[in-house]
A and B are shown apart, each in its own frame.
Chain A
Amino acid sequence: MEPWKIMQPSFAAKYVGYLVPALNNIGKQASPSVDRCIDTEKIVRYEINMALALSAEGFAWSHALKHKLRPNVDNHNHAGKSQSYLAHDDDHRNTIPVNHEPAAKKLKVDPKRSETEAAEEEEERLTYLRKLIPGGSGEMMVDDEILLSELGSYVSCLELQVNVLRSMLQFN
């Protein structure tokens, strides 16, 4: 957590530094076409995620995100994945309401429930969180402690990212 606090201030600057030129490059590419609109979205999404991964070096999730976006030659698992983690997460997102509500309802259960039930609930939520964070299911984040630390930095980065994107669009 401490390293993240040190990195935080430079994150926004780095992020913009990565993203803006990338976006500019998109604008200068091939002539517009119908398909390009869709592609642009994907490309933009890709660049956004890439900027996120590059601006927050040193975290397991950023590493995993980078690999997801830029599959390495030797990493066959990622070979066919979509470039956008968001697209990947769409599946999860769609299932979110379904999966999540039962968990939410469990909270209303008798507080005297046994410890094992509570532990199971927590486990359930933790596995859910693992799906949300890039690399959460990987080997780096098997430990709960590490998962929670990574979550902290990931959430901060997401917030910063949203702020930057919002301000970029604000004066449109």
Chain B
Amino acid sequence: MNRALPEMLPCSDMTVLQRQRARLKWQAEQFQQQSYFCELSGVFTSQNVHVQGFQQGGLVSGCGGGDSVLSNMEMTRQLKPDPGLEAAWPELGKVDMGFGSCGYGNGPSFDMNHAISRTSSCPPAVAAAAVEVKGNAEKMGSAVGRESFKKRKVEKLQNSKVVAEDESKRIKASEEEEEESKITGPNTNKITNHKKENSGDTSKDNSKVSEVQKPDYIHVRARRGQATDSHSLAERVRREKISERMKYLQDLVPGCNKITGKAGMLDEIINYVQSLQRQVEFLSMKLATVNPRLDFNIDNLYAKEEFPSCTTNFPTVGMAPEMANHSPYLQFNPIQQVVSGCGVEMGMGMGMNSSDMALRRTISAPVSIPDASFLNTTCFTGPQQQIQPSAPWEVELQNLYNVAFTDTIEESDLKMEM
């Protein structure tokens, strides 16, 4: 059908779509066999395939191989030979068949640096030739033995490293490459995020991305000069995720800004985790020695929190100081316990007998996990101004609050306004 397209076809999506549809049939056959890759390799090896062009063109494709790991991959191939134009083109035409040196399904997100946008620059003649070539290519594709596919893949990988050829060729190649054939594999799902990423990366690419997308297709594009087989695509995605996590860890672990390299970073992380664990161990030992005294003053501390007049309404408790009513306190029993626990030592020696009543009230109140947002937002709404340290322990509590929470929550809380 597409072959029937006669005259010069402007580089347009229509052409691409039509071509793709035409190709789908025979492609489907080959995909099912999963020997897809093998097929074209032979073809290409024999030729000077400007694989680079293809790769540049963003051959992306996740082969929906049945055994593809990522079910989300979809195969998109670019077929587009334009043999009429140059000697190298015939090869391209063949390439399109198999081009899918696509990664099969491993959730790859490629970033296509170039793209399809190039097609727009193709002269009409190219398109016409492309049509013809396409016909030929398809025939070739079917005729090509599957065996050669693997070789082609290798060659493509090699070619990817070849220095860029001249621009005209590439432009033409890109036009050809733009056409993408959708291949349905057993495990194809649609991943649209990659496409969006790609579009962000390359302005050119967007234009030529085929709009005809079945819901279960995923377009993945390879970067320029990079291998596009499914394995390396998946690898690349995985590596990107890992490096993203490493960056996060780098922010977390102090003193890692200057360290480059994964091994060094991991070293630092190891050291940091060990030191933290040792600190916890040490602090726990200290706490154990202090522990017998802990229960002395908890009553006192509990009591203090109950006093509305007390400015213990206290940021540590996570409540706005201006809140005088008791109900919020009851909601924040855990926090109250925090205060009491932390301030236990402070409360030492402060006999506040009247606190017993308040204490019992507190204890009997249901314990509920305080609302994090409330805690955080109020904590930071100027605890310092609102606290009037009328008692020495209040000052300590305030300090405690600052120490305990500022460090730990500063980043997240301030940003969180739930």
Contacts and interface: CB of A to CB of B under 8 A. Distances in A.
A12 interface: yes
B88 interface: no
Interface string A11-26: 1111011011101101
Contacts of B295: 24, 27-28
B291 A44 contact: yes
B45 to A, nearest CB: 27
A39 to B, nearest CB: 9
17 contacts: A20-B338, A20-B342, A24-B341, A27-B293, A37-B288, A40-B292, A45-B285, A133-B273, A152-B245, A155-B273, A159-B276, A164-B404, A167-B400, A168-B341, A170-B400, A171-B344, A171-B346
A154 B313 CA distance: 32
Interface of B: 238, 241-242, 245-246, 248-249, 252-253, 262-264, 266-267, 269-270, 272-274, 276-281, 283-288, 290-295, 298, 318, 333-335, 337-338, 340-346, 367, 369-370, 372-373, 375-376, 396, 399-400, 403-405, 407-409, 411-413, 416
A126 B318 contact: no
B402 to A, nearest CB: 9
Interface in A121-154: 121-122, 125-126, 128-129, 132-133, 144-145, 148-149, 151-152, 154
A148 to B, nearest CB: 4
Contacts of A41: 284-285, 288
A26 B411 CA distance: 34
Contacts of B413: 9
A104 B267 contact: yes
A16 B404 CA distance: 10
Interface residues of A, number: 71
A79 interface: no
Nearest to A45: B284
A8 B409 contact: yes
Contacts, number: 213
Given A9-B376, A155-B273, A162-B279, 6 more contacts: A8-B408, A17-B367, A20-B340, A26-B291, A129-B273, A171-B343
Interface of A: 1, 5-14, 16-17, 19-21, 23-24, 26-28, 32, 37, 40-41, 43-45, 48, 86, 89, 93, 96, 100, 103-104, 106-107, 118, 121-122, 125-126, 128-129, 132-133, 144-145, 148-149, 151-152, 154-156, 158-172
A26 to B, nearest CB: 6
Nearest to B252: A155
A1 B411 CA distance: 14
A167 B274 CA distance: 20
A14 B334 contact: yes
Contacts of A160: 408
A86 B287 contact: no
A5 B270 contact: no
A158 B277 CA distance: 7
Q: Is the interface of A mostly helix, strand, loop or mixed?
A: helix
A23 B262 CA distance: 41
A165 B334 contact: no
Contacts of B376: 9
Contacts of B286: 169
Nearest to B278: A93
B337 A148 contact: no
A26 B246 CA distance: 40
Nearest to B276: A158
A156 B137 CA distance: 57
Contacts of B409: 8-9, 12
A35 B313 CA distance: 41
B220 to A, nearest CB: 18
A84 to B, nearest CB: 9
Nearest to B367: A17
Given A48-B287, A132-B277, A171-B396, A164 B270 contact: no
Q: 3 nearest interchain CB pairs?
A: A17-B334, A20-B341, A10-B372
B245 A149 contact: yes
Contacts of A37: 288
A57 to B, nearest CB: 11
Nearest to A19: B341
Most A-side CB within 10 Å, residue of B252, B278, B341: B341
| Centre residue among B269, B293, B400 by max chain A CB count within 10 A | B269
Contacts of A17: 333-335, 337-338, 367, 369
B369 A14 contact: yes
In this complex, the member of A5, A6, A144, A151 whose beta carbon has the largest number of chain B beta carbons within 10 angstroms is A151
Nearest to B341: A20
A160 to B, nearest CB: 4
A159 B267 contact: no
Contacts of B367: 17
Nearest to A158: B276
A126 B266 contact: yes
Given A48-B287, A149-B245, A154-B273, A163 B404 contact: yes
B338 A9 contact: no
Contacts of A118: 262-263
B284 A165 contact: yes
A12 B404 contact: yes
